[in-house]
A and B are shown apart, each in its own frame.
Chain A
Amino acid sequence: MKLDEFFVTGDPLIYGADVSIILSMIGVVFVLTKYKKWGWLWKEWLTTVDHKKLGIMYILSAVLMLFRGGVDALLMRAQLTMPETEFLDSTHYNEIFTTHGTIMIIFMAMPFLIGLMNVVVPLQIGARDVAYPFLNAVSFWTFFMGAMLFNISFVIGGSPGAGWTSYVPLAGNELSPGPGQNYYLLGLQVAGIGTLLTGINFLVTILKMRAPGMTLMRMPMFTWSSAITCIIIIFAFPVLTVALALMTLDRIFGTHFFTMVDGGMPMLWANLFWLWGHPEVYIVILPAFGIFSEVISTFSRKNLFGYKAMVYSMVIIAALSFVVWVHHFFTMGADASVNSFFSVTTMAISIPTGVKVFNWLFTMYKGRIKINTAMLWSLAFIPNFVIGGVTGVMLAMAAADYQYHNTYFLVAHFHYVLISGTVFACFSGLYYWYPKLFNHKLNETLGKWSFWLFMIGFNVCFFPMYFLGFAGMPRRVHTYAEGSGWFELNAVASVGGVMMGIGFVILVYNIYYSIRYEPRLTTGDPWDARNLEWATPSPVPYYNFAKIPEVRGLDEFWRMKKEGKKDLDLKKDKLEPIHMPDYSGVPVIMSTFLFISGFGLVFEWIWMGVAGAIGVVITMIMRSFDPDEGYHVEVEEIKEIEEHVRREEA
């Protein structure tokens, strides 16, 4: 392979990206060296097993990926604003929508939510960390390395361009040879390991590490949603693992699972992909439902309406999510009976979802609704998500779907549910839990500006797309003819896209601004909230709880406050030494080897793939022989820390 084939060449956009990547890397190295922060970076962050720090790193990476995916989106809008534009050729356009979709789902939505789960779940259930802190670090680093592997494709080797669904035969070797599609396979494979481990880790954490008295039906709703999400992950992700592995075998080792020749069966890919892909949709929406439940309840100053119904409806949604996958390809010519079955199961999902919407509405009933940025994101979710939901029901009707399928109607629908569901939830959760991590709020004025710009921009961008669908515009076309009647609506959509972009920039600026100028808090409970995460001081001591709370019902912290009880009385309460896990450099090193192995396989350099795999095995063996006994925090030290953080509160 020649060097000019290795590096992507010939496009000024790519050169621009090359330069900016190199400059920012030099910048980071310079700052770290100048302020002698390398040791700090290694000791405090790269080796950490603390769920809160891992959560912060997840969220940071997700915001970075949101930026990357957002730039992709704006490039697409730029190309589509006017008819017959030649800003991007079809190959580039194809690569951009492929990476946009993949990054937003796998490397943005999921890690953002998993990041929030990391921060919040152990605190909500009164635990000192997750069940397997070391594994948690492995999860993060495999996700991160997977994301990096996928992202370097656009400067080294070329990006995948067969759509985020990667349908074969198009995505197979016969029609798309070269490293691009391999990046998709290996990047997702590496990141998928981390997701599966997270699923197991958090399920055990939630099942086994709840504070005494917290029965299942006393768990906060976000914890419930996380638990159910974990179950979906555990059963859905292995399917993706297999599907990706089979396509990798096809492309690199010449097997015939999905090929056109020698008996391969392309339809099998579509089935396997969506057998994972549809549950995946619920993996990114159920935690969002959990976040909305927390935020709406807190800022209505009321408990959640119909708690049990909320739990059961999530269980039903999770179960149904495994029996609807065929609705992604009603047009594949299955029997009328098959299409009818999957139509009805899909529509059935709207019933438990509707129950949830009405329960949120009635959570506000007779409440006192405090409207701030966190609550605005949650409030905006309801009407927007309902629009996405009802159009989802329309798509579920197979006979009508033959007209909607592969059009902008579909594009509009899934952006309505994924943005107003998942993205709004991520932002809502970020504003809501941010003070817990950093001891200051995010600025409200900037927050509201970014909310209104983003939310209105979102509607301006995606609502016209429903009509583009009716107008017969298929998704994934890189341009359209003059006189096709699609220009006006596309132009409007692009305006909305720009508004969303500005809203996002303000949100990021708000983080910077708030770090510098927002007043520090004097309480760990700035929102007068209801669950145990707010019982801890902010920022949370690394062991979370000096004394594990006793739980007597739902919304335990609310009850404690009403009864005027303090969570910790340093004079009276008897403290015990706390056992904590050691930090470890193994996860980041192991994941780096995975990255090397994946990178080798992308270019079909088998020696490099094997070398990386050997590295992984060696680090695993090292880990197995590591006694990993952890250490104890002595009572004196706990008292000192607690006095310090609580002095400011008093």
Chain B
Amino acid sequence: MGHTETIDPNKPLEYQTEKSRLNILGFWIFLGAEVALFATLFATYFVLTGRLADGPGPGELFEIKGVLIETFILLTSSFTCGIAIHEMRRGSKKGLMIWFGLTLLLGLGFLYFEIEEFIHYVHEGATIQTSAYWSSFFTLLGTHGAHVSLGIGWMIMILIQVARHGLNTTTTRKAFIISLYWHFLDVVWIFIFTGVYLMGMVM
């Protein structure tokens, strides 16, 4: 740090200070590391596909309906999150809070259906301990789900700060960064949807 605190009024609020610009760039790089993390989990999943021991296979258990609901909810939440940032850029604190609130609800909804789905699998005899395949399945999806949960907690903290301090260079930067994170989780989900669910149902 020790950078000069010059405000650049020509940029959007979240980009105006040097600190904000650094933090946003750093977060992009962090997402690069997250890509490597999920790529490893996906690789593990694909390597272990078909290693079912005596347990059930994905084709028997996957239900397209629940998965489609989850996908729809999460994609919508990415959309509402985008609108929230749009509202923030318009300078509307209220807009940001409403749309972030909606995003939160959708995130919680996603988690609800995902947990529902997991409970269903466990009842059908597929737990994280059943076979290598299910270990990798639950770990990959669980890591994504844990990220979503963390994102929800994080977003609540940021909403509190926005409510307290309004829109300033700090709160807008934080809101912008959580939005990047949220979109990233959406992208990961798209890969899960195609790589895990669609391919699992085909097999």
Direct touching of A and B (C-beta under 8 Å): yes
Q: A residues bordering B, Cβ < 8 Å?
A: 127-133, 196, 199-201, 203-204, 207-209, 234-239, 241-243, 245-246, 249-250, 253-257, 259, 261-265, 268, 272, 275, 543-544, 576, 578-581, 617, 621, 624-625, 627, 630
Known contacts A249-B135, A255-B129, A265-B48: A543-B33 contact under CB 8 Å: no
Contact across chains for A132 and B36 when beta carbons are under 8 A apart = no
Contact across chains for A238 and B1 when beta carbons are under 8 A apart = no
Contact across chains for B129 and A254 when beta carbons are under 8 A apart = yes
Known contacts A263-B131, A621-B157: A581-B36 contact under CB 8 Å: no
Nearest A residue (CB) for B160 = A625
Q: How far is the CB of B145 from chain A (nearest CB, A)?
A: 15
Write 10 A-B pairs (CB below 8 A) sorted by A numbering: A200-B30, A209-B22, A235-B36, A238-B36, A242-B44, A257-B44, A257-B135, A262-B53, A579-B3, A625-B157
Contact across chains for A208 and B22 when beta carbons are under 8 A apart = yes
Contact across chains for A265 and B51 when beta carbons are under 8 A apart = yes
Contact across chains for A630 and B44 when beta carbons are under 8 A apart = no
Q: B residues bordering A, Cβ < 8 Å?
A: 1-5, 21-23, 25-26, 29-30, 32-34, 36-37, 40-41, 44, 47-48, 51-53, 55, 128-133, 135-136, 138-139, 153, 157-158, 161, 170, 174
Which chain A residues border B1 with CB–CB below 8 Å? 128-133, 579-581, 630
Partner of B48, one of A200, A241, A263, A630: A263
Contact across chains for A242 and B40 when beta carbons are under 8 A apart = yes
- Other A-B pairs beyond A249-B139, A264-B135, A268-B48, 6, CB < 8 Å: A128-B2, A203-B29, A255-B135, A255-B139, A263-B52, A263-B53
Partner of B36, one of A209, A234, A256, A621: A234
Give bound CA distance, A581 to B18, whole Å.
14
Which chain A residues border B30 with CB–CB below 8 Å? 200
Contact across chains for B37 and A242 when beta carbons are under 8 A apart = yes
Which chain B residues border A261 with CB–CB below 8 Å? 53
Which chain B residues border A246 with CB–CB below 8 Å? 44, 139
Contact across chains for B132 and A200 when beta carbons are under 8 A apart = no
Contact across chains for B132 and A264 when beta carbons are under 8 A apart = yes
Contact across chains for A238 and B33 when beta carbons are under 8 A apart = yes
Give bound CA distance, A238 to B42, whole Å.
13
Known contacts A238-B37, A581-B2: A255-B128 contact under CB 8 Å: yes
Partner of A235, one of B33, B138, B139, B157: B33
Which chain A residues border B48 with CB–CB below 8 Å? 257, 263, 265, 268
- Tally of contacts, chain A with chain B, CB under 8 A: 135
Partner of A272, one of B2, B25, B44, B53: B44
Known contacts A131-B22, A256-B53, A578-B2: A242-B32 contact under CB 8 Å: no
Contact across chains for B21 and A208 when beta carbons are under 8 A apart = yes
Main DSSP-derived SS at the B contact region: helix
| Most central of A249, A261, A576 by chain B CB within 10 Å | A249
Contact across chains for A234 and B33 when beta carbons are under 8 A apart = yes
List of 3 A-B pairs having minimum Cβ-Cβ separation, nearest first: A128-B2, A263-B51, A263-B132
Nearest A residue (CB) for B174 = A624
Nearest A residue (CB) for B55 = A262
Give bound CA distance, A544 to B53, whole Å.
61
Give bound CA distance, A178 to B5, whole Å.
53
Q: How far is the CB of A233 from chain B (nearest CB, A)?
A: 9
| Most central of B22, B48, B128 by chain A CB within 10 Å | B22
Contact across chains for A200 and B33 when beta carbons are under 8 A apart = yes
Give bound CA distance, A255 to B32, whole Å.
28
Q: How far is the CB of B152 from chain A (nearest CB, A)?
A: 13
Partner of A579, one of B2, B33, B130: B2
Contact across chains for A256 and B5 when beta carbons are under 8 A apart = no
Which chain B residues border A127 with CB–CB below 8 Å? 2
Which chain A residues border B136 with CB–CB below 8 Å? 257
Contact across chains for B135 and A256 when beta carbons are under 8 A apart = yes
Which chain B residues border A204 with CB–CB below 8 Å? 22, 25-26, 29
Contact across chains for B47 and A241 when beta carbons are under 8 A apart = no
Nearest B residue (CB) for A122 = B2
Nearest B residue (CB) for A581 = B1
Contact across chains for A265 and B47 when beta carbons are under 8 A apart = yes
Q: How far is the CB of B1 from chain A (nearest CB, A)?
A: 5
| Most central of B2, B3, B139 by chain A CB within 10 Å | B2
Q: How far is the CB of A243 from chain B (nearest CB, A)?
A: 8
Partner of B29, one of A128, A200, A264: A200
Known contacts A246-B44, A272-B44, A543-B2: A237-B33 contact under CB 8 Å: yes
Which chain A residues border B138 with CB–CB below 8 Å? 255
Q: How far is the CB of B137 from chain A (nearest CB, A)?
A: 11
Contact across chains for B34 and A238 when beta carbons are under 8 A apart = yes
Give bound CA distance, A275 to B40, whole Å.
10
Q: How far is the CB of B165 from chain A (nearest CB, A)?
A: 9
Contact across chains for B44 and A209 when beta carbons are under 8 A apart = no
| Most central of A241, A243, A255, A263 by chain B CB within 10 Å | A263
| Most central of B4, B36, B157 by chain A CB within 10 Å | B36
Give bound CA distance, A234 to B33, whole Å.
5
Give bound CA distance, A201 to B131, whole Å.
39
Give bound CA distance, A243 to B37, whole Å.
10
Which chain B residues border A268 with CB–CB below 8 Å? 44, 47-48
Which chain A residues border B37 with CB–CB below 8 Å? 238-239, 241-242
Give bound CA distance, A119 to B18, whole Å.
23
Q: How far is the CB of A321 from chain B (nearest CB, A)?
A: 14
Give bound CA distance, A262 to B36, whole Å.
27
Contact across chains for B26 and A132 when beta carbons are under 8 A apart = yes
Contact across chains for A201 and B26 when beta carbons are under 8 A apart = yes
| Most central of A207, A543, A579, A580 by chain B CB within 10 Å | A579
Which chain A residues border B139 with CB–CB below 8 Å? 245-246, 249, 255, 257
Q: How far is the CB of B150 from chain A (nearest CB, A)?
A: 9
Which chain A residues border B44 with CB–CB below 8 Å? 242, 246, 257, 268, 272
Nearest A residue (CB) for B153 = A617
Which chain A residues border B131 with CB–CB below 8 Å? 256, 262-263
Contact across chains for A128 and B135 when beta carbons are under 8 A apart = no
Nearest B residue (CB) for A542 = B2
Which chain B residues border A625 with CB–CB below 8 Å? 157, 161
Give bound CA distance, A255 to B161, whole Å.
40
